[in-house]
């Protein structure tokens, strides 16, 4: 099977790279991926792949049915780019000023489109049904995955897999987690309302600035009190804005930040405490406040059984598999695995001999070694064959 997979990828490698180059040259922001969606849909139609009806916005779901019974297995690729100016000198550099595929979503789409091409041309490999989920807006809340789930994309899916390129690991490394792959994210904002006045007469005003400082200090204690001391999490007060002049006491201060944990329930408990602590301090000093809390993406909890499938498939392809270290980045793939089993994995695409390929994601100089694309595609094929009992 390994040699067959490598042979297939070699046959389609030129198309894989051409697809990636087209997407990289033509990036589009979250919820605005109109031409990207058109390109994806046209390619799927040319492959004879049915498009699922009832899908909102710029997301697209292709459906490929085999001649033999089997499970419905889905693969997801996110399709949006970032508001980042590209600073790379590439023949396929972004043609859109201020927008770039600075996270590698172009590689995800290229791999999934090529996977669809291979399986539609080799239907003897399709056992049951394959869904190719091209998801809009992973980079911007509320995320495209949440809407796709509301559209019913997961209703008939038995298991879903997601792949992400990584400049943090060299080619040949596949990273998978058997527990929590990405963090739950919470965002909060607080407006503290007092009474403005002259700096010479603070007794005639209600100054929200020192009260905001007290709130900030108190909020920073919440996570230490609420989470298991052995668990992972971070609470950040990211900004405090209010006032401009030394002799004017402002009437309002705005502050906010984010909470990240590996526990979806903990986010909600922290939010409750933010509300209680902020209102208590403000009321004690005669001020009022407005507290807004938003759950961003939940934690992505991989199903261990399907993390094993990824590990075994990548190992069969003779790639090194490592367990993902705990990290607090967010990923809206979480919504899919809250509904059905599945797992998310990363594929290294850095060349240690070329330090530029290790540039962090979301950077204008982000660049990957394209030899990593075939590794990602080989792994996706192997995961599919393993999940359907063919490997």
Catalytically active residues, by annotation: 297, 370
Rounded Cα distance between 261 and 185, Å, is 7
Spatial CA neighbour of 134 closest among 167, 104, 105: 105
User: CA dist 139 to 81, 100, 103, 146, 233, Å?
Assistant: 8, 12, 9, 13, 21
Sign of CA dihedral 349, 350, 354, 357: positive
294 Cβ neighbours under 8 A, 6+ residues apart: 141, 186, 187, 188
Helix (H, G, I), strand (E, B) or coil at 68: strand
Rounded Cα distance between 212 and 166, Å, is 39
Rounded Cα distance between 42 and 157, Å, is 23
Q: What is the DSSP string of 373-389?
A: HHHHHHHHHHHHHHHTT
Rounded Cα distance between 185 and 240, Å, is 20
Rounded Cα distance between 194 and 202, Å, is 12
In sequence order, the β-bridge partners of residue 78 are: 135
Q: In this structure, what token pair is assigned to residue 242?
A: 């209010």
- H/E stretch holding 254 reads strand 252-261
* Location of structure tokens 């009806």: 53
Given a contact cutoff of 8 angstroms between Cβ atoms, the answer to whether 376 and 165 are in contact is: yes
In sequence order, the β-bridge partners of residue 257 are: 188, 237
Helix (H, G, I), strand (E, B) or coil at 15: helix
Rounded Cα distance between 141 and 129, Å, is 30
Spatial CA neighbour of 362 closest among 167, 89, 96: 167
């Amino acid at each position: 099977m390994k040699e067959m997979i490598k042979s297939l990828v070699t046959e389609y490698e030129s198309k894989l790279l051409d697809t990636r180059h087209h997407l990289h040259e033509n990036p589009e922001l979250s919820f605005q991926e109109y031409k990207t969606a058109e390109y994806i849909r046209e390619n799927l139609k040319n492959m004879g792949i049915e498009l699922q009806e009832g899908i909102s916005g710029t997301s697209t779901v292709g459906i490929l049915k085999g001649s033999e019974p089997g499970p419905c297995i889905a693969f997801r690729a996110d399709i949006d780019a970032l508001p980042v100016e590209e600073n790379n000198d590439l023949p396929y550099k972004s043609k859109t000023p201020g927008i770039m595929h600075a996270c590698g979503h172009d590689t995800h789409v290229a791999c999934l489109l090529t996977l669809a091409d291979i399986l539609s041309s080799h239907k003897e490999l399709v056992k049951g049904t394959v869904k190719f989920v091209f998801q809009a807006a992973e980079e911007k809340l509320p995320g495209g995955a949440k809407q796709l789930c509301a559209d019913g994309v997961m209703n008939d899916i038995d298991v879903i897999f997601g792949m992400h390129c990584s400049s943090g690991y060299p080619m040949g490394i596949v990273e998978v987690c058997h527990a929590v792959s990405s963090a739950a994210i919470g965002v909060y904002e607080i407006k503290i309302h007092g009474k403005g006045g002259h700096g010479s007469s603070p007794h005639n005003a209600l100054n929200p600035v020192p009260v905001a400082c007290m709130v900030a200090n108190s909020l920073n204690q919440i996570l230490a009190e609420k989470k298991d001391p052995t668990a992972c999490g971070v609470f950040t007060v990211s900004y405090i804005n209010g006032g401009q002049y030394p002799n004017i006491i402002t009437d309002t201060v705005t502050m906010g930040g984010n909470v990240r944990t590996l526990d979806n329930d903990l986010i909600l408990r922290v939010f409750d405490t933010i509300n209680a602590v902020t209102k208590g301090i403000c009321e004690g000093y005669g001020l009022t406040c407005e507290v807004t809390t938003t759950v961003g993406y939940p934690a992505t909890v991989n199903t261990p059984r399907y993390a094993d499938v990824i590990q075994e498939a990548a190992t069969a392809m003779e790639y090194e598999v490592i367990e993902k270290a705990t990290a607090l980045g967010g990923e809206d793939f979480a919504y899919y695995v809250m509904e059905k089993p599945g797992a998310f994995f990363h594929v290294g695409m850095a060349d240690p001999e070329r330090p530029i390929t290790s540039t962090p994601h979301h950077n204008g100089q982000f660049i990957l070694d394209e030899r990593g694309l075939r590794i990602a595609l080989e792994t996706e094929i192997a995961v599919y064959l393993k999940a359907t009992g063919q490997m």
